[in-house]
């Protein structure tokens, strides 16, 4: 199972993924449930061809992505909505996110932000970076090497069939935004 992580790639600095290499622009095509582990899988698809990349993520992260994909609004801002609001308040633009490393079955990502003329990178788990990209309309890129490593891996490739999509859809249908506001701090 491949998961995402907040650690910097290969123990280096968070900006390490900026090296000159080829990236594919991808988009979120859906969330499905792994039928063996009941773990959500985020599915990215190359916008130019049929290449797909599944990333196993946690349920909370999947919910954050799904609620944005389904335009579900909550009475109070959730974490990724708060981050978007902070960026807007500080006039910071999310330029792009990059899934830039796959090491020991863990994906790594960077969020590229611009504050005026200054460009910075923030180390992130891919699920968080993608949740923010969806909220800020930032493009999502995946390093070619990451896709190649995944395709060469010995992991069994999941099938993203209609049954899995229906499982996720059923879970979303049962989601009530008011449930999230009843846990007050």
* pTM assigned to the model: 0.75
Digit-coded pLDDT (tens) for 135-146: 999 999 999 999
Residue 58 resides in a domain: yes
> Which pair of tokens denotes residue 172?
């979303």
Residue 46 resides in a domain: yes
Residue 129 belongs to domain spanning: 17-156
Digit-coded pLDDT (tens) for 18-76: 554 699 999 999 999 988 889 999 999 999 998 999 999 999 999 999 999 999 989 99
pLDDT of residue 182: 39
DSSP 159: P
Q: How many residues are present in the chain? A: 185
Q: For residues 49 and 37, what is the distance between their CA atoms, to the nearest angstrom?
A: 29
Residue 120 resides in a domain: yes
Residue 5 resides in a domain: no
Phi, psi of 93 (to 5 degrees): -110, 135
DSSP letters, 38-65, are --EEEEEEESSSS-EEEEE--HHHHHHH
Report percent pLDDT > 90 for the chain: 61
Domain count along the chain:
1
Residue 1 resides in a domain: no
pLDDT of residue 50: 86
How do strand 92-103 and strand 140-143 relate by DSSP bridges?
parallel
> Which pair of tokens denotes residue 68?
């944005």
- Looking up residue 70, the CATH number of its domain turns out to be 3.10.690.10
| The pLDDT of residue 164 is above 90 | no
């Amino acid at each position: 199972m491949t998961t995402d992580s907040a650690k910097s790639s290969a123990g280096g600095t968070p900006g390490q993924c900026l090296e000159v290499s080829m990236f594919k622009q991808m988009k979120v095509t859906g969330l499905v449930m792994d039928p063996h582990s009941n773990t959500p899988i985020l599915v990215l698809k190359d916008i130019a061809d049929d290449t797909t990349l599944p990333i196993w993520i946690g349920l909370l992260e999947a919910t954050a992505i799904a609620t944005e994909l389904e335009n579900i609004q909550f009475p109070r801002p959730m974490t990724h909505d708060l981050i978007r609001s902070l960026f807007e308040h500080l006039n910071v633009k999310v330029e792009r996110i990059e899934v830039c490393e796959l090491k020991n079955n863990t994906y790594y990502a960077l969020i590229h932000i611009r504050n005026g003329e200054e460009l910075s990178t923030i180390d992130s788990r891919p699920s968080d970076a993608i949740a923010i990209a969806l909220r800020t309309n930032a493009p999502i890129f995946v390093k070619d090497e990451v896709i190649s490593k995944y395709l060469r891996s010995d992991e069994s490739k999941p099938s993203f069939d209609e049954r899995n999509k229906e499982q996720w859809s059923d879970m979303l249908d049962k989601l009530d935004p008011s449930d999230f506001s009843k846990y007050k701090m």
